[in-house]
């Protein structure tokens, strides 16, 4: 079955079944993972598990100069993009049906001691955390968001809704950080002259304002025609992801495709 979809520029497209599935997965992922703050996906962690900052450090690339020598380490996201060319079309678009294989790849990478470049303490902390179910499911969400951000930067997304939401998220996040930075600067220079608790109150107002703005902008895209495709496959995607997440946690990796 094919769905006729009218894009934002009023051009009618015909989507194949495979294209529909890829779009539906991307819309599902952006619906559930894209958020203003990384911490929104990584709250109330179990004790003695890897923190949000440390997880991000190893998902991201690392680069610095030391004694006129550049040190560079590829993070788990870059390694996934490099090691899995079969997950992309000839024009560089990601096959979102491979999302389960991405999750498995990242956790397999975290189980490889060589990835941590001799940092045995960090390696052990990851091994301990991976087997804590609550941490695992929160880590999956943060990994997914970092993948979407990297795909957006590398023009790897197909869905218009996914592209627009990622762009919107980067813009709102940049504005949010700018204002929070200005608040912190004011606090540093004038804190003694201002009422007690002013900084926390202002930050709360800013936080509520941006959360509301983000929600409003997100709802705009719910009228996009790609949501018809998304609703067609949503239940299948939800059920398959639950199975895939559970399989990766147990180390069972025979069937990780969503469709």
**Which tens digit of pLDDT belongs to each residue from 38-56?**
998 999 999 999 999 999 9
DSSP letter at 89 equals -
Model's pTM, two decimal places? 0.85
Estimate to the nearest angstrom the gap between the alpha carbon of 7 and the chain centroid.
25
CB atoms within 10 A of CB 20: 21
Quick check: 8 pLDDT over 60? no
User: What residues does 156 pair with on adjacent strands?
Assistant: none
Give me the pLDDT at residue 12, please. Answer: 41
Torsion (CA) 226, 30, 163, 231 in degrees, nearest 10? 0
Q: What is the mean pLDDT of residues 174-197?
A: 74
Task: Reduce the DSSP state of residue 76 to 3 states and report it.
Answer: helix
Q: Which two tokens stand for residue 184?
A: 């912190």
Give me the pLDDT at residue 56, please. Answer: 97
pLDDT band at 182 (very low <50, low <70, confident <90, very high): confident
Q: Which residue blocks in the chain are alpha helix, DSSP H?
A: 17-33, 52-59, 76-83, 99-110, 120-130, 133-153, 160-190, 198-220, 226-250
Q: Which two tokens stand for residue 116?
A: 């941590």
Give me the pLDDT at residue 71, please. Answer: 64
Give me the pLDDT at residue 166, please. Answer: 93
């Amino acid at each position: 079955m094919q769905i006729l979809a009218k894009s934002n520029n009023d051009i009618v497209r015909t989507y194949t079944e495979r294209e529909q599935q890829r779009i539906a997965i991307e819309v599902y992922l952006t619906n559930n993972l894209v958020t203003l703050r990384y911490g929104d996906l990584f709250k109330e962690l179990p004790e003695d598990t890897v923190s949000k900052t440390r997880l991000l450090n190893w998902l991201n690339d690392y680069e610095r100069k030391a004694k006129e020598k550049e040190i560079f380490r590829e993070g788990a996201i870059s390694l996934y993009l490099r090691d899995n060319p079969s997950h992309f079309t000839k024009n560089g678009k990601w096959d979102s049906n491979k999302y389960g294989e991405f999750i498995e790849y990242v956790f397999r990478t975290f189980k490889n001691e060589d990835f941590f470049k001799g940092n045995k303490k960090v390696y052990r902390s990851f091994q301990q955390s991976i087997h804590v179910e609550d941490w695992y499911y929160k880590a999956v969400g943060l990994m997914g968001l970092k993948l979407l951000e990297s795909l957006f930067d590398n023009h790897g997304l197909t869905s218009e809704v996914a592209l627009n939401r990622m762009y919107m998220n980067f813009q709102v996040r940049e504005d949010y950080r700018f204002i929070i930075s200005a608040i912190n600067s004011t606090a540093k220079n004038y804190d003694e002259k201002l009422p007690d608790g002013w900084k926390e109150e202002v930050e709360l107002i800013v936080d509520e304002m941006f959360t509301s703005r983000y929600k409003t902008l997100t709802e705009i895209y719910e009228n996009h025609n790609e949501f018809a495709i998304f609703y067609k496959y949503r239940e299948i995607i939800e059920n398959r992801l639950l199975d895939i997440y559970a399989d990766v946690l147990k180390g069972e990796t025979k069937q990780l495709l969503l469709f």
